[in-house]
Amino acid sequence: MKDGVAGIGIVGCGNISRVYLEQMPKFGNLKAVACADINPDQANEKAEKFGISALSVDDVLAHEEIDTILNLTVPAVHAEVALRALENGKHVYNEKPLGIARDEGREVLNAAKDRQLRVGCAPDTFLGVGHQTCRALIDDGKVGQPVAATACVMGAGMERWHPRPEFFFQPGGGPVFDMGPYYITALVNLLGPVRRVTGFTTKGFEEREIGSGPDAGHRFTVNIDTTVMGVLEFVSGPIATFLGSFDVKGGHHVPLLELHGTRGSISCPDPNGFDGPVTFCESGDKEWTEMPLVEGHTGQNRGVGLSDMIAAIEENRPHRASGELAFHVLDVMQAFYDASADGSAVELESRCEQPAVLG
């Protein structure tokens, strides 16, 4: 790292890589150096557009000017690529989830600890003004003592519009592993770590049909449950319900994320975004009031978590979108399926620190 600026190597050049590359110039401590993909055409396209080098994965991992690997591969190889980055002496920042199983996540964190390197992980949307405003309302006592929350992510699935949707319906996909990290991370940011989890899972369709692109009409097997209902008990006392489904073929009216306390309720913005609005309903009222947002990151700001990690390395402090937070979220997500299979409430072994407010 030179003068506090990290050289970033990107592994995985799909759609999300474009967003990261577009946003990096906003952050003064990130410099994209090179990219790699198993599809060389995708790497070449991104390299040409953003003025960086297109290299092999091995060459990116070994590059002397690269301090940190931004791992944007598919979930099934998140842990594998992260471990290779750490073995090459690089810090790593993963796209979500950290891995598709607890053992993978533990191995990544242990490897980083052994090498005194950092691991970060998306999502970082909880660092946007929307959810930072919600956090401030809780920390300032506006809602009183938090009691309950609801988080819902519901839709029909990606096969209608995504040209290669199969991986969304395999282990590491589904509504929990694909979208759940946004919602569960948001809840941990607001309420702290989870103590135990129970839940039920089911599958709406055994097969899905691709609706667009060159493989339109092709049917594929669904190998993960696609509707999950869970209950989370937080160490700090509140409980929350989580509903995730890719089986909702019609509309719905459920809120994305609400939190209820002894003095009032917050309607939180989409956890998959950085902005508001945030509305508040005080105890005894029926009307919701839109609250002023705190200052901070608005719009599309993918990369703020990575930038915070690099700054934290320089300042010798914890970073917010940490590997420990991502592992705790992974632990919660896996516990939904474990609880459904066993008919039990799963006591979580993992804990993480509630992320510090972004100030």
Tell me, what CATH number does 175's domain have? 3.30.360.10
Q: What's the number of CA atoms in the CB half-sphere (13 Å) around residue 296?
A: 22
Identify the domain containing residue 268 by its residue range.
128-294+328-347
Domain boundary residue, one of 71, 94, 121: 121
The tens digit of pLDDT for each residue in 310-323 reads: 999 999 999 999 99
Q: Are 137 and 86 found together in one domain? A: no
320 in a structural domain: no
Q: Are 189 and 225 found together in one domain? A: yes
Number of domains in the chain: 2
Q: Which residue has the tokens 């990151």?
A: 297
Q: Are 205 and 282 found together in one domain? A: yes
273 in a structural domain: yes
Measured CA to CA in angstroms, residue 8 lies from 90, 121, 292 at distances of: 10, 15, 35
Q: Are 189 and 336 found together in one domain? A: yes
Q: Are 211 and 75 found together in one domain? A: no
Measured CA to CA in angstroms, residue 145 lies from 111, 190, 241, 330 at distances of: 39, 12, 17, 27
The tens digit of pLDDT for each residue in 264-323 reads: 999 999 999 999 899 999 988 889 999 999 998 888 889 999 999 999 999 999 999 999
Q: What is the pLDDT of residue 250?
A: 86
Q: Are 157 and 287 found together in one domain? A: yes
Q: Are 71 and 202 found together in one domain? A: no
Region 177-203: mean pLDDT is: 97
For the ranges 20-29, 62-71, 159-168, 335-344, the lowest mean pLDDT is seen at 159-168
Instruction: Tell me how far apart the alpha carbons of residues 17 and 27 are, in angstroms, rounded to a whole number.
Output: 16
Q: Are 158 and 264 found together in one domain? A: yes
Whether pLDDT at 359 is above 80: no
Strands 239-245 and 146-154: parallel
190 in a structural domain: yes
230 in a structural domain: yes
Give percent of the chain above pLDDT 90: 90
Q: Are 47 and 194 found together in one domain? A: no
Q: What is the pLDDT of residue 106?
A: 98
Whether pLDDT at 253 is above 80: yes
Q: Are 73 and 116 found together in one domain? A: yes
Residues in the chain: 359
Q: What is the pLDDT of residue 299?
A: 85
Instruction: Tell me how far apart the alpha carbons of residues 69 and 209 are, in angstroms, rounded to a whole number.
Output: 35
Q: Are 117 and 163 found together in one domain? A: no
Region 168-176: mean pLDDT is: 91
Task: Indicate the pTM of the whole model.
Answer: 0.95
Q: Are 115 and 183 found together in one domain? A: no
The CATH number of whichever domain residue 14 belongs to comes to: 3.40.50.720
Domain boundary residue, one of 59, 94, 121: 121
